[in-house]
Amino acid sequence: MAEAFAAVEIIAAKRDKHELTDAQIDWVVDAYTRGVVADEQMSALLMAILLNGMNSREISRWTDAMINSGERMSWSELKVPTVDKHSTGGVGDKITLPLAPLVAACGAAVPQLSGRGLGHTGGTLDKLESIPGWRASLSNAEMLKVLQDVGAVICAAGAGLAPADKKLYALRDVTATVEAIPLIASSIMSKKIAEGTSALILDVKTGSGAFMSDPERAKELARTMVTLGTRAGVKTRALVTAMDVPLGLTAGNALEVRESIEVLSGGGPSDVVELTILLAREMLDAAGVTNTKDPEVALKDGSAMDKWRQMISAQGGDPDAPLPTAKEHTQIKAEKSGTIASMDALKVGISAWRLGAGRARQGESVQAGAGIEIHAKPGEKITEGAPLFTLHTDEAERFARAKEALIGAVTISDDGRVAERLPLVVARIDSHDLA
């Protein structure tokens, strides 16, 4: 059967700054998924999209084409509304771990499809896999069972969900086209819409440790994704939140699980607790669950912790098993006394990655115990010789490059002055804000 288009025509159209038609978009995404369009041709089209952009109709159609490359999930058998959250990722961003069981404890169901880390941002699945026995891959039937029994599930997206995205994501990664907002937005939203949730909260990170370091670009991405979700009938909102300083006091897989458990126990670092409660309230409101207990209460009364234990057990994990620890550790100490004025999230993230907490390419394994503990954050006083960071790894030879990444990561002021920080919530965008 003859193909409807030739890839070269579509590449040339976008190269010359023309709009792609719906039929062109449908064909090129489908033909690439089928293997008719070659990687080098799709690479050229992705670069043309990065350079020349897409309008909202093109982005919406591209997203639909990716959804239509696979299955759509449905949670109609559940008796409670479904809501999910997606974060664009950052350093120490372990929010999904306490958030999913917390929202379930307050009366909504959370089908949370998560990913693995690449580069300096950690992946939720990598963190949870540090719990002995826990498994990320569940069938659709197993997901439904966990949601019915517990109310929250965190697992990997199956191969049937937006297969076009899986292929495109790998290609974007090796062709320097990851940053294109139309491609980021369609990648995230195709999976989230296909996942079948009725409401979605997006946590778009900005600041040095985020994928979108510029707040204006982060807002543009947030608006694009809210538009896509709203058009698809999913109640979608976005918070643009700070990632100029690491979240919490840990970066690394088992270290972040430990910190998440502290939050579920009613403790934990104040920034992690604040953002978890804030996102939980947004999720419950978007799902229309309003006559139930407040998330702050559910963290204190143990009900969120009960859901966490049930969720981990339901996926084969042992919530009582000791978490893995790294074989080697070393400390970096303050060179002078004063007030911590700034801390660069990106440098901390790169250091944790070099210690073995992250991967350089897809498919690599990560160390469960590797990462960084942060002993003092901006605004806090420190004395000369006191520990700033503890570095953890299984391979002592990794310390040198990890320490190198931390050069200039922290500044200490003598006069108590602290560098200007982004507010925790930089912007909030919902469908009413889309003019």
Yes or no: say if 95 and 279 are a contact pair by the CB < 8 Å rule: yes
The active-site residue, picked from 14, 172, 223, 375, is: 172
Distance in angstroms (rounded) separating the CA atoms of residues 405 and 410: 11
56 is known as an active-site residue: no
Yes or no: say if 402 and 213 are a contact pair by the CB < 8 Å rule: no
The active-site residue, picked from 165, 203, 271, 430, is: 165
Q: What backbone torsions phi and psi does residue 200 show, to the nearest 5 degrees?
A: -145, 130
Distance in angstroms (rounded) separating the CA atoms of residues 187 and 198: 18
22 C-beta neighbours (distance < 10 Å), count: 14
| Nearest residue to 389 (alpha-carbon basis) of 402, 401, 398, 65 | 402
Yes or no: say if 89 and 121 are a contact pair by the CB < 8 Å rule: yes
The bridge status of strand 410-413 relative to strand 199-206 is unpaired
Q: Which residues contact 319 (CB under 8 A, 6 or more apart)?
A: 131, 308, 309, 312, 313
Query: Which residues lie across from 420 on neighbouring strands?
Result: none
Tokens at 320, concatenated: 């009582």
Unique residue bearing structure tokens 């909260």: 201
Which of helix, strand or coil describes residue 320? coil
Q: Distance from first CA to last CA of the chain, Å, rounded?
A: 44
Tokens at 160, concatenated: 């049937």
DSSP-derived letter for residue 292 is S
Q: What Cα–Cα distance (Å) separates residue 246 from each residue in 188, 229, 255, 339?
A: 23, 28, 14, 17
The active-site residue, picked from 60, 187, 208, 260, is: 187
The active-site residue, picked from 191, 223, 235, 347, is: 191
Distance in angstroms (rounded) separating the CA atoms of residues 175 and 120: 18
Instruction: Tell me how many degrees the CA angle 213-251-405 measures, rounded to the nearest 5.
Output: 65
Distance in angstroms (rounded) separating the CA atoms of residues 174 and 170: 7
The active-site residue, picked from 86, 127, 219, 307, is: 86
237 is known as an active-site residue: no
191 is known as an active-site residue: yes
172 is known as an active-site residue: yes
Distance in angstroms (rounded) separating the CA atoms of residues 224 and 56: 8
Distance in angstroms (rounded) separating the CA atoms of residues 287 and 40: 42
84 is known as an active-site residue: no
Total residues belonging to the chain: 435
Residues that are catalytic: 86, 165, 172, 187, 191
